[in-house]
Amino acid sequence: MQYNNVGQKMSLGFSKIDRLRFALSYFICSLLWMSGLGMIGSVLLPQHLKDIVGGTKATAIFGLINAISAVVSLIANLVFGNLSDRTRSRFGQRTPWIIGGGLVGGISLFLSGVFTNIWAMGIFYCICMLGLNAIVAPVIATMSDRIPKDARATMSAFNSAGITIGTSVGTLLGAHFISVQIPGFAAAGILMAFAGIATIIVWPSEQSSENMQPVEGGLKEFVFSFRPPIKGARDFWLAFVGRSLLLFSYYMILNYQLYILEMYIGQSKQAAAKTISIMSVIIMVVGLVGSLASGAISDKIGRRKLPVICASCLLAIGYLIPWVFRTATSMLFFAGFAGLGFAVYGAVDQALNVDVLPSRSNAGKDLAILNIATTLGQTAGPIVASALVSVAGYKLVFPVAIIFAIIACAFIQLIRSIK
């Protein structure tokens, strides 16, 4: 396949076999690392902490570990995206980081469960975030390097589908190993380590980057290379704000679904757990269907804004139903509508991000900046939800989430460089 580092005229050499191999590689990569991370982050690490220090302390410590690892992840995504842009090797720009990141992430994920020392657990979990982002940032950057414009939404959809399924698979596997945790930590580490290797095996080999223009300058130039894009970056920042607000709205409710069921709707702990299990299955099913269908349709019609409008409407409907009806069934409708909306947006998300890049030469770094919006949405959304609950209860969370979804859609519609 013929391609270059600025994404020009790639479709001429992008065969159906290439399309299939890339689609499978994006799916397999996100499925493997998300399954491994889901096993640990959702089940085994919190249980390991609880076994060591007890439930009350474990909650506080786990919250602190998550906060610190989120900051590490945010910085690491930017750093490894930039470093992969600057890499010149016979194996290409992205390949060395993807393989190395998988190995580091897998080993450290396993080691986070070997020790009973809280500091050691936290340190190795943060190291895992470094390895994980050394996989994710270069993999996403290849959508600019190696994927033609008319196939990007499809690739983004397969990446999103892998994350959706991996989240559920990881939770189920983690529950299976909850009584025998060390084998579970080992299995999770293997899944993450193999994510990088499997990706490189499945997709077409990356060309050497040794003949690309070398990066010149010393430490000062390297530091300045992290500057966010400014010139010609209007659409870039509109996409950043739109993405942040859309994720903001979704995680305001998703992260508080247990409390909403117990404290807003009035279910018991056992009933709420059962409802959440059903919601997880619904989200997984609609997420898989919505991701793959939306991505293919977006590439077929050559439009990104239309799927975002559909996603915003679906999210708003999903938020509206439990606000109005306040029943357990309404939360199942939330899972169906909002889960589908989130999947539809996720299918075109990375494709849209690539389309608004001011420059292809800094794709890894600039896409990493856009991915900061994910961290902002996932962390700031629940904080705002908590503040709203303290003032007016959970009833106010839903209309505010609807407003954020509508504003997010408006920002995306203001982008001029995409249809």
pLDDT in tens, 127-182: 999 999 999 888 988 887 788 877 877 888 888 888 878 877 887 788 778 788 89
pTM of the model: 0.75
Q: Regarding predicted confidence, which is higher, 103 or 383?
A: 103
**Nearest residue to 355 (alpha-carbon basis) of 398, 395, 397, 302:** 302
pLDDT of residue 6: 41
CA distance 259 to 117: 31
335-355 pLDDT per residue, tens: 899 988 888 887 777 677 777
Instruction: Identify the pLDDT of residue 4.
Output: 46
Separation between Cα atoms, residue 272 and residue 268, nearest integer Å: 6
Report the share of the chain in percent with pLDDT over 70. Answer: 89
The 10 Å CB-count burial string (b at 16+, else e) for 202-211 is bbeebbebee
Residues 30-60: tens digit of each pLDDT? 999 989 988 888 778 877 888 888 766 776 7
Determine the 3-state secondary structure of 146 from DSSP: coil
Confidence of residue 107 (pLDDT cuts 50, 70, 90): very high
The answer to whether residues 344 and 290 touch, using CB atoms and an 8 Å cutoff, is yes
| DSSP single-letter state for residue 209 | -
How many helices and strands (H and E) does the chain possess? 15, 0
* Mean pLDDT over each residue of the chain, to the nearest integer: 81
Query: What tens digit of pLDDT does each residue of 324-338 get?
Result: 998 989 989 998 999
d(CA 369, CA 371): 5
150, 11 Cβ separation under 8 angstroms: yes
Query: Which of these, 410, 80, 62, 70, lies nearest to 226 by C-alpha position?
Result: 80
> CA-CA distance, 73 to 132, in Å (whole number)?
8
